[in-house]
Each structure stands twice: as C-alpha cells, then as structure tokens.
C-alpha cells in the first residue's frame, strides 16, 4: 500500500513582496503552508539570499570572510558588481555602517551618493540598511529613500524609536520596508500594527524579529519566528503574514567560533570551514523556522544554503 502523508490545511497565507525592477526583480513569500511543506499546499516563491556589502571596507570582519572580497571591498560599486556578475547573487544588501557615529560618522550626503552609485551599477534588487543607530538612521534612510525613488528597494530597519519617519519616507518613494523588533512576537506584532496604522501597506512590510547565531540564542530566534509563522497560517493573523528576514551574516561572523584561530582552538577544526558551516547552519535553521529572506556574507555559505533550498523545494 502506498504511503499517503497526512496533510494539514491552513487558514492564512504569507503576503508576497516583490523587490527591484525589470527582468531581475525578485519575489518572496506567498506560501500557504509551513516552510518547505509543498506537499500540503502552495509555495510559489523560493527563499531569497542577498549578499551583504558595506559602504566602507569591512575591517571588523574575520579574515576568512574578508579575504573573499579582497580587491573589491574598498569600493562599494566594485563590490556590488562583483557580487552580481561574478558571484551571481540574486540580491545585494548595502549596509551603510560607515554612517554610524562611532564608526566613520559618514554624512547623509555620502550615504546618498553611495546608494545611488550602487543602484546605478547593478540590475538586481538592492536592500539598503542603515547602521542600526536609531537617530542617525532616521536622517540617512529618509535621504536614501528619496534618492532611490521608484527603484523598489527594501529600506531598513525601522524600529520603535524611528519607524514613523522611515516608514513615511519608504511609503512616499515606493519602497518596501523592514520592521525590526527585539525577539518578541508581541513587540513584532505591535510594530507592524503601528506602521500600518500610518497608512503603510501591510503587504509591503518585511518582519525582522532579530537574529542570533548558532550557539548564541538561535533556539529562541527559531521559536519566535516559528510562532510568527504559525500565527500567520493557523490563526490567519494579518499582522503576522509578512515575509520574515534573517540578517544572518552580521551576527554569525562576530562570534568566537567564526573568529578563533586554529592555533588557539585546534580542537574546533579548520577555521575557514568552521565559519562557513556556522553561517550556513544558522541560515538553514532560520529558513526552516520561516524566514523567506536572508542576508549572508560568505559565498560558500550561500552556495550551501542554496543547495539546501534547491533540495527542499
């Protein structure tokens, strides 16, 4: 007798979000089942992985990921084109970390020029992120959103401290928006509600419940993402039906397991392989929890995750 797997039916559906313009625009979301449960229902769009670049050289990245971008990471335009043309990235995440007051404290005008130059150089979708300094991001992301008008970028991240201004700028300039809360399903829901009450289209939001690396609270991140996705599907909660982001690279490549030298921790194995696996495993866990969009750093980790996605879909 042939085995027939049991099937669940769900009341809700994840919104679809399209980013970018033209032939290389990308769409995420749209599923009406749990992650990779295509045997139960529709999963029209595969998850998307974006390669991270920065407006300044990544001096704080570990050598094993920094060396991959030697020769291009001194210029965000060269870096972006390398990701698109050589690494075949489907999307780019430009992090304007140089604008942070405790880093280079680059000006709003510098950020606008960088964003415009990168957008002019590539045809794949671009995610534009601030430095995670709420006050500085307010000025930077508003100006960048205006400069990138109608490019259908993803702008982020809007937080409780600055969401009103950033959401208004994204809405006025036809962008999508990342809403980030601090690893709590209720805070995530509350922020989504506050943003949509401003008139922002709930189907243009992407939820970032915050991320953590393998070994550093990943179980809690997984649990929060899983609960968000279950609320969206089983309870048909429209405030929880946005696609989710896993901002993997920035959390993974700062933990000791990806930074410790082989001489210091020989029992941990080859440092480069260890770091790549740490990023790939973190990303895969978040995909299974419900993330539809990932931001990653090492191309080999991206290739491993793409292989998993290909197998599961």
pLDDT reading at 163 higher than 80? yes
Please report, rounded to a whole number, the percentage of residues in the chain having pLDDT higher than 70.
100
Contact 66, 58 (CB under 8 A): yes
What mean pLDDT do residues 236-257 have?
97
pLDDT confidence band for 5 (50 / 70 / 90) = confident
pLDDT tens, 281-307?
999 999 999 999 999 999 999 999 999
Q: Which residues contact 244 (CB under 8 A, 6 or more apart)?
A: 206, 207, 208, 209, 225, 228, 229, 290, 291, 292, 293
* pLDDT attached to residue 3: 85
**Closest by alpha carbon to 118, among 106, 128, 131?**
128
pLDDT confidence band for 217 (50 / 70 / 90) = very high
Q: How far apart are CA 131 and CA 52, in angstroms?
A: 13
Contact 262, 310 (CB under 8 A): no
Residue 205's region, left for phi above 0, alpha for psi from -120 to 50, else beta, is beta
* pLDDT attached to residue 6: 84
Domain 47-312 fold is TIM Barrel (3.20.20)
The model's pTM: 0.96
**Terminal Cα-to-Cα distance of the chain (whole angstroms):** 26
**Angle 12-17-22 from CA coordinates, rounded to 5°:** 150
pLDDT confidence band for 313 (50 / 70 / 90) = confident
What mean pLDDT do residues 90-102 have?
97
pLDDT reading at 2 higher than 90? no
What mean pLDDT do residues 16-32 have?
97
Please report, rounded to a whole number, the percentage of residues in the chain having pLDDT higher than 90.
95
Q: How far apart are CA 273 and CA 218, in angstroms?
A: 20
Residue 138 has which token pair?
């307010």
pLDDT tens, 267-276?
999 999 999 9
């Amino acid at each position: 007798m042939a085995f027939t797997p049991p099937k669940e039916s769900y009341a809700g559906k994840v919104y679809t979000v399209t980013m970018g313009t033209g032939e290389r625009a990308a769409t995420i979301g749209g599923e009406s089942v749990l992650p990779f449960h295509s045997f139960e229902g529709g999963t029209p769009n595969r998850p998307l992985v974006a390669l991270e670049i920065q407006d300044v050289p990544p001096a704080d990245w570990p050598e094993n990921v920094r060396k991959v971008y030697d020769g291009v990471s001194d210029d965000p335009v060269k870096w972006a084109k390398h990701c698109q043309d050589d690494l075949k990235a489907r999307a780019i995440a430009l992090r304007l970390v140089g604008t942070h007051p405790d880093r280079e404290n680059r000006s709003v005008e510098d950020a606008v020029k960088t964003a415009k130059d990168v957008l002019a150089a590539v045809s794949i979708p671009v995610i534009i992120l601030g430095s995670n300094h709420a006050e500085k991001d307010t000025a930077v992301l508003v100006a960048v959103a205006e400069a990138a008008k109608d490019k259908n970028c993803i702008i982020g991240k809007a937080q409780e401290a600055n969401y009103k201004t950033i959401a208004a700028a994204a809405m006025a300039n036809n962008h999508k928006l990342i809403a980030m809360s601090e690893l709590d399903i209720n805070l995530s829901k509350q922020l989504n509600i506050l943003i949509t009450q401003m008139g922002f289209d709930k189907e243009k939001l992407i939820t970032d419940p915050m991320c953590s690396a393998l070994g550093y609270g990943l179980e809690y991140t997984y649990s929060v993402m899983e609960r968000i996705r279950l609320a969206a599907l089983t309870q048909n909660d429209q405030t929880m039906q946005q696609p989710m982001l896993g901002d993997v690279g920035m959390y993974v490549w700062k933990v000791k397991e990806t930074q410790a030298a082989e001489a210091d921790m020989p029992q941990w194995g080859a440092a480069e392989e260890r770091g790549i696996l740490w990023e790939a495993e973190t990303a895969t866990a978040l995909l299974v929890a419900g993330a539809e969009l990932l931001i990653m750093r090492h191309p080999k980790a991206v290739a491993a995750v793409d292989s998993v996605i290909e197998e599961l879909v």
